[in-house]
């Protein structure tokens, strides 16, 4: 039984991990989260107060972080500014949280000898051509495109340096695009679902040809727990569930499930520097640590996700108008 500190645990994937840990292990969890626009305490509703504590604060606050590391056995680091479109608008918070915040945590891990797991993204590898037979592996060179992905790449490199130079007990995972309940409506799938639920048309960037490799957030959480338990210190593991889809395919599925014509979407201004395709080869994680995804049927997972947004408007409605104003100002 361990005491886990989870940074960014009020966000989409972090909150999924907290529910997963409390439901499947005997560990206790403390969440450290700044509650930016992306954090939502309701994503943590229903947790056992005997095993769960919430602390509001910034991962770049060295004094706060030092005290928390002293009281925990392991840290799982999800906190980040996570949205590419925001990073194109105002990169600064991405540097503060993703770089300085991660640095602050690593210094505490170094001082206290704390086991540290760093959550990262496949976007650090840049993008692939649509017809490239190769997928990303742990050996693919870093080549990030956006302010978001370059700060995540920077944070990964800090972790690697702190392992090698200071002996920090860290592992890294780089995961593909997550979907599931509790994802902020700024992101692609929730934005399109909630548009259709509100009687608005989905908005596809460019021609909708870009490909993302979708994984259910529950599968991501199970993979992270596997690496925390069995991962080799200093190693990186890629997490993916063979879920490649064009954005257009995803939008058409959402429209069809909600009883609309499959072509009832708008093509809008493309994202600057828009990565074409991501694709993960997760052989290392599967063969060396024995993880496998449980959600192999994307359509079924998407249908469950659509149902969740239909039934939980109170969770997402407060963010919807502001998000749409942001996009409208950019012609998106
Ligand atoms: P999110 O934006 O939904 O949540 C981020 C959380 O971090 C929020 O609760 C926010 O309040 C908190 N936070 C932000 N800055 C903070 C700070 N300075 N101090 C403390 N807390 C802070 O993000 P997400 O989609 O859940 O992503 C979580 C992590 O997973 C990120 O590191 C992201 O890079 C990574 N990741 C995401 C995906 C994806 O598809 N969403 C895929 C792979 C990796
Ligand atoms: O690959 C992992 C990454 O996935 C994570 O590191 C990021 O935190 C996460 O946000 C996600 O990044 P993307 O940029 O791929 O996700 P997003 O949901 O913003 O967009 C998914 C795709 O859909 C992308 O090709 C852009 C496109 N898109 C997005 C929006 C919001 C649209 O076509 N229309 C939209 O309205």
Query: Residue 22 maps to which CATH number?
Result: 3.40.50.720
Same domain as 234, residue 115 = yes
Q: Phi and psi for 29 in degrees, rounded to 5?
A: -135, 135
Does any domain span residue 86?
Answer: yes
What local confidence, expressed as pLDDT, does residue 163 receive?
Answer: 98
What local confidence, expressed as pLDDT, does residue 35 receive?
Answer: 98
Tell which residue, 307, 266, 275, has the closest CA to residue 150: 275
Instruction: Pick the ligand that lies closest to the CA of residue 36.
Output: 1
The rounded distance, in Å, linking the Cα atoms of 278 and 31 is: 30
Number of domains observed in the structure of the chain = 2
Query: Residue 322 maps to which CATH number?
Result: 3.90.25.10
Same domain as 146, residue 115 = yes
Tell which residue, 56, 79, 78, 80, has the closest CA to residue 68: 56
Same domain as 224, residue 114 = yes
Q: Which of 123, 252, 253, 275 is catalytic?
A: 123
Tell which residue, 247, 278, 16, 297, has the closest CA to residue 121: 278
Same domain as 119, residue 83 = yes
Does any domain span residue 291?
Answer: no
Q: How far is the CA of 231 from the centre of ligand 2 (A)?
A: 28
What local confidence, expressed as pLDDT, does residue 274 receive?
Answer: 98
- For residue 141, pLDDT over 80 is answered with yes
- For residue 200, pLDDT over 80 is answered with yes
What local confidence, expressed as pLDDT, does residue 162 receive?
Answer: 99
Ligand 2 atom closest to 278 (CA)? 1
Mean pLDDT value of segment 261-279: 98
Our measurement of the distance from residue 135's CA atom to the centroid of its chain's CA atoms, rounded to an integer in Å, reads 19
Q: Ligand 1: which residue has its CA nearest to atom 37?
A: 121
DSSP letter string over 185-212? TTSHHHHHHHHHHTTPPPEEETTS--EE
What local confidence, expressed as pLDDT, does residue 332 receive?
Answer: 97
Q: Which domain holds residue 319?
A: 185-211+244-277+297-326
The rounded distance, in Å, linking the Cα atoms of 215 and 294 is: 10
Task: List the beta strands (DSSP E) in 13-160.
Answer: 28-33, 52-56, 74-77, 115-121
pLDDT in tens, 219-229: 999 999 999 99
CB 86 within 8 A of CB 103: no
Same domain as 171, residue 28 = yes
Does any domain span residue 135?
Answer: yes
Q: How far is the CA of 259 from the centre of ligand 1 (A)?
A: 32
ipTM over 0.90: yes
Same domain as 251, residue 227 = no
Same domain as 40, residue 173 = yes
Query: What six digits make up the tokens of 16?
Result: 């999924």
- For residue 1, pLDDT over 80 is answered with no
pLDDT > 70 fraction of the chain, expressed in percent and rounded: 100
């Amino acid at each position: 039984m361990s005491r886990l500190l989870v940074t960014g645990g009020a966000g989409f994937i972090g909150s999924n991990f907290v529910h997963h840990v409390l439901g499947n292990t005997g560990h206790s969890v403390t969440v450290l989260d700044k509650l930016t626009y992306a954090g939502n305490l309701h994503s943590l509703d229903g947790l056992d107060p005997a095993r769960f504590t919430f602390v509001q604060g910034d991962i770049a606050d060295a004094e706060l972080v030092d005290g928390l590391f002293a009281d925990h056995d392991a840290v799982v680091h999800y906190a980040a500014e996570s949205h590419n479109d925001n990073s194109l608008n105002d990169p600064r918070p991405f540097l503060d949280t993703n770089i300085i915040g991660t640095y602050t945590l690593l210094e505490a891990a170094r001082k206290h000898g704390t086991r540290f797991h760093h959550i990262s993204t496949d976007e650090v590898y840049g993008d692939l051509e649509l017809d490239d037979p190769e997928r990303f592996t742990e050996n693919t060179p870093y080549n990030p495109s956006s302010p978001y992905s370059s700060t995540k790449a920077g944070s990964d490199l800090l972790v690697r340096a702190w392992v090698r130079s200071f002996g920090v007990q860290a592992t890294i995972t780089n995961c593909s695009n997550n979907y599931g309940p509790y994802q902020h409506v700024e992101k692609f799938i929730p934005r399109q679902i909630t548009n259709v639920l509100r009687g608005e048309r989905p908005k596809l960037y460019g021609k909708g040809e870009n490909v993302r490799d979708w994984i259910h957030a529950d599968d991501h959480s199970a993979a992270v727990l596997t690496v925390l338990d069995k991962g080799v210190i200093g190693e990186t593991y890629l997490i993916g569930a063979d879920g490649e889809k064009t954005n257009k395919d995803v939008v058409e599925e959402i429209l069809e499930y909600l009883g609309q014509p499959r072509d009832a979407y708008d093509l809008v201004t493309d994202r600057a520097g828009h990565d074409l395709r991501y694709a993960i080869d997760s052989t290392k994680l599967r063969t060396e640590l024995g993880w496998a995804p449980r959600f192999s049927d994307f359509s079924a997972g998407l249908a469950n996700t659509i149902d969740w947004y239909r039934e939980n408007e109170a969770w997402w409605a407060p963010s919807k108008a502001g998000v749409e104003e942001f996009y409208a100002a950019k012609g998106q």
